[in-house]
Amino acid sequence: KERGDDADDIAASEVLDARLNLAYKYLDWEEYQKAEDTFAKLIEEAQSNKFKEVLQENAIDTLRSKMNVAKSRQLIGVVDKQDERRELLKKALNQDRSNIDILIELYNLPGNSDEFKKEINTRIEYRVSEYQKRIDAYSASYNVERYGSTRQELYMAYNEYAWLVSNTTGDFEKALEYSKRSLDLYPNSPDYLDTLARCYYANGQYDVAVIHQRKAAKARKSMGQVQRQLDLFEQAYAEELAKEATIQPSPNGNQNRADVEVDSES
């Protein structure tokens, strides 16, 4: 390669990274039409060879998958379009089979048939079993090495198991334990705190979920998904407090347990 070609590749890579970052932000901010348009433009330019040297075919499939996710989310709440939404998500999952967030979205779609629920549950069970195999293998290696890539692979496997199960179905208590272990290996990670909060929510511990999600939201102020999850947990906790208030007054007056915990850390 000539030096000029290398410079062109670097420039193309920088443009690609900037556009990818923007597309992912549009998805997170729920600006789904803009996300779809941005992913479509990236795919078009990749196919016209603009990014040929910096974007492999499997990466283009990932872009196609994200574009279909963006398309599907434009149909949220459109009652007579849920079958179309489901097909778009199935297509997206086939284009990026490792993306468990699509699997989670399919599991939680309203109106899934019993047959489709069985299919999705089978996929989830398979993915969970694969994570467990990775955890078992990396745990054995980590007990010997205790450093390097094994540590990273182990906390990633713990987190992915916990995120998938806590958002779908399975052993919620085990998911919580694995989430805690991921943070033992990767302390204070905002993304893993986000998972931990979800696990507490899945286990019905809404006050603790709020505590950890507030920490994640503080560290990820620009991320819409993290804030939306906080809103969900706070609503669930508020409803729980309202039910408790009909039985007996709170010993802290108007201050709830999550606020007491946060105040104690300040």
Q: What is the DSSP string of 175-198?
A: HHHHHHHHHHHSTT-HHHHHHHHH
Q: What's the CA gap between 122 and 99, in Å, rounded?
A: 16
Q: What is the pLDDT of residue 249?
A: 64
Q: What is the pLDDT of residue 250?
A: 58
Contact 209, 197 (CB under 8 A): yes
Instruction: Note down pLDDT in tens along the chain; length 266 residues.
Output: 444 455 455 566 788 889 999 999 999 999 999 999 999 999 888 877 666 555 666 788 999 999 999 999 999 999 999 999 999 999 999 999 999 999 999 999 999 999 999 999 999 999 999 999 999 999 988 876 666 789 999 999 999 999 999 999 999 999 999 999 999 999 999 999 999 999 999 999 999 999 999 999 999 999 999 999 999 999 999 999 999 988 876 566 556 666 656 554 54
Q: Please state the three-class secondary structure of 122-165 as a single string.
A: HHHHHHHHHHHHHHHHHHHHHHHHCCCHHHHHHHHHHHHHHHHH
Q: What is the pLDDT of residue 4?
A: 43
From 158, 166, 157, select the one nearest 107 (Cα to Cα): 166
User: What are the angstrom distances between the C-alpha of 107 and each of 100, 102, 104, 111?
Assistant: 10, 9, 5, 10
| Tokens 């199935």 sit on residue | 90
Contact 117, 94 (CB under 8 A): no
Contact 221, 185 (CB under 8 A): no
Q: What's the CA gap between 108 and 102, in Å, rounded?
A: 10
Burial class (CB in 10 A: 0-12, 13-18, 19+), 12: middle
Q: Which CATH code, of 1.10.3470, 1.25.40, 1.10.3450, 3.30.70, is assigned to 7-107?
A: 1.10.3450
Tell me where in the chain the CATH 1.10.3450 domain(s) lie. 7-107
Structure tokens at 110: 């309203």
Burial 208-234 (b: 16+ CB within 10 A, else e): bbbbbbbbbbeebeebeebbebbebbb
Q: What is the pLDDT of residue 266?
A: 42
Q: What's the CA gap between 60 and 48, in Å, rounded?
A: 12
Q: What is the pLDDT of residue 254?
A: 54
User: What are the angstrom distances between the C-alpha of 264 and each of 51, 101, 165, 238, 253?
Assistant: 51, 34, 31, 20, 17
Give the length of the chain: 266
Structure tokens at 142: 């980590």
